């Protein structure tokens, strides 16, 4: 009797498991919808489109292999990118992020490039309890409190970007520092961090001035900064700011022993095309992949493999934003492969578990409870002339250096 009862219980359990399994499989979506924005025009267009290109490159690669493995459903599912054009407008972006969440009902939400266009997505994602995958929005004020709905995946929080730069200035005993920065969180947080790190060592900037993000003429500012006799001039801005700044500097006749800008390290071809290699010679920047490479990774292609594959597929060399878009896909791929349930909170927990244990083509992946990326610290490089081009030479910190800084910078 006991044997018959045990057999019946086992049969019932097996039937229940089959029923649950069928329902579980039926719940699996036909595609994983990834919603994002891009800018076809405006201040952020070039960087934004590069980020989207990298994300699309990743999607094409995984779909060619049958899709991403989703642990919650125990199988591979193709991905579909739903992308709308925000034209570099935060007002338009707000409307379109809301559309992705409430109308398209995307499974994963990815922010557009940079802090300005990410800023409007953060409160919307939190309101709808949706995890925002943030490729390159690194403004320090995004990461002030604990959250389950934000993860900065492809670039460190801008609050830590200038720490190696500040330490280099101190190591070289450069005490007269001038800083010009964009009055947005991305640039202003870097200026603040630089000022704080220098201040702890007793160094106070001789010139410290914010400008509108739309600033396009730096001539007067350059002469005002030069009057303070700085040994280093630091400009924190977006690509259009860097281009306008470097053009103004080249035309001004002024010379500084050290000049630093952000985006030559991310978009070297673009900046060189707009200002010329001569204007970039011996200036400094943050070098990013593919300019620096990570050979040992735990997930996805390493930097060299990505460069080769992207060039073969797109017939052009990738820049950092292409790499950041691809890296965003890789991080999401691991997230979906590890999350036990198909929920936003499980997605977030999967990322937290991957933190500190994962290395990608951009370096160490490490986020804190506030969603800030603290891996992938950016070194400092000097752009050294080589023929009719400039090549980045990492000069700080010493354990990552590929050469020594030429300081003071030679006069052209």
pLDDT for the residue numbered 7: 47
CB 283 within 8 A of CB 264: yes
| Alpha carbon separation from 220 to 70, 184, 255 (Å, rounded) | 56, 21, 15
122 pLDDT exceeds 60? yes
pLDDT, tens digit, 9 for 90 and up, residues 299-314: 999 999 999 999 999 9
* Annotation: CATH topology of 163-285+379-400: Rossmann fold (3.40.50)
CB 403 within 8 A of CB 394: yes
User: Which tokens belong to 196?
Assistant: 């704080």
- Residue 27: pLDDT band by 50, 70, 90 thresholds? confident
pLDDT, tens digit, 9 for 90 and up, residues 201-229: 999 999 999 999 999 999 999 999 999 99
pTM score, two decimals? 0.86
pLDDT, tens digit, 9 for 90 and up, residues 142-197: 999 999 999 999 999 998 999 999 999 999 999 999 999 999 989 999 999 999 99
% of the chain with per-residue pLDDT over 90: 89
pLDDT for the residue numbered 9: 44
pLDDT, tens digit, 9 for 90 and up, residues 262-282: 999 999 999 999 999 999 999
- Residue 12: pLDDT band by 50, 70, 90 thresholds? very low
**Torsion (CA) 271, 274, 276, 280 in degrees, nearest 10:** -30
* Annotation: CATH topology of 32-158+292-365: Rossmann fold (3.40.50)
298 pLDDT exceeds 90? yes
Q: What strands, in cross-sheet order, belong to the sheet with 177-182?
A: 207-211, 177-182, 232-236, 258-261, 284-285, 380-386, 389-396
- Residue 376: pLDDT band by 50, 70, 90 thresholds? confident
pLDDT for the residue numbered 362: 95
- Residue 323: pLDDT band by 50, 70, 90 thresholds? very high
Q: What are the start and end residues of each CATH 3.40.50.2300 domain in the chain?
A: 32-158+292-365, 163-285+379-400
pLDDT for the residue numbered 17: 41
């Amino acid at each position: 009797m006991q044997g018959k009862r045990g057999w019946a219980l086992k049969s019932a359990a097996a039937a229940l498991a089959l029923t649950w399994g069928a329902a579980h499989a039926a719940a699996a979506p036909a595609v994983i919808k990834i919603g994002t924005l891009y800018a076809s025009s405006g201040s952020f267009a070039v960087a934004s489109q590069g980020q989207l290109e990298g994300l699309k490159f990743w999607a094409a690669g995984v779909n060619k292999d049958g899709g991403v493995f989703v642990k919650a459903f125990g199988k591979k599912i193709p991905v579909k990118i739903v992308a709308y054009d925000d034209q570099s407008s935060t007002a338009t972006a707000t409307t379109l992020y809301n559309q992705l969440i409430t109308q398209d009902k995307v499974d994963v939400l990815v922010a557009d490039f940079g802090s300005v266009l990410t800023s409007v997505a953060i409160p919307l994602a939190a309101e709808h309890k949706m995890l925002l995958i943030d490729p390159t929005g690194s403004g320090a004020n995004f990461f002030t409190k604990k959250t389950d709905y934000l993860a900065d995946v492809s670039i460190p929080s801008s609050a830590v970007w200038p720490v190696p730069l500040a330490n280099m200035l101190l190591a070289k005993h450069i005490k007269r520092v001038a800083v010009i920065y964009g009055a947005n969180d991305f640039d202003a947080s870097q200026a603040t961090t630089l000022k704080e790190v220098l201040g702890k060592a007793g160094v106070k900037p001789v010139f410290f001035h914010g400008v509108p993000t739309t600033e396009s003429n730096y001539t007067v500012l350059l002469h005002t900064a030069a009057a303070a006799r700085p040994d280093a001039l630091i400009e924190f801005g977006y690509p259009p700011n860097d281009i306008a700044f470097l053009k103004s500097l080249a035309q001004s006749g002024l010379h500084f022993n050290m000049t630093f800008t952000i985006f030559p390290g991310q978009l070297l071809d673009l900046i060189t095309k707009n200002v010329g290699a001569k204007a970039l010679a011996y200036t400094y920047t943050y070098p990013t992949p593919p300019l620096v490479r990570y050979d040992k990774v735990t997930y996805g292609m390493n930097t060299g493999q990505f460069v080769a594959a992207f060039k073969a597929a797109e017939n052009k060399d990738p820049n950092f934003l292409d790499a950041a878009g691809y890296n965003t896909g890789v991080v999401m791929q691991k997230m979906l492969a590890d999350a036990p349930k198909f929920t936003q909170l499980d997605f977030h927990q999967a990322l937290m578990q991957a933190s500190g244990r994962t290395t990608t083509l951009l370096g160490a992946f490490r986020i804190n409870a506030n969603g800030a990326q603290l891996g992938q610290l950016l070194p400092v490089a000097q752009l050294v002339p080589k023929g009719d081009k400039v090549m980045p030479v990492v000069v700080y910190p010493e354990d990552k250096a590929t050469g020594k800084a030429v300081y003071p910078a030679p006069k052209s």
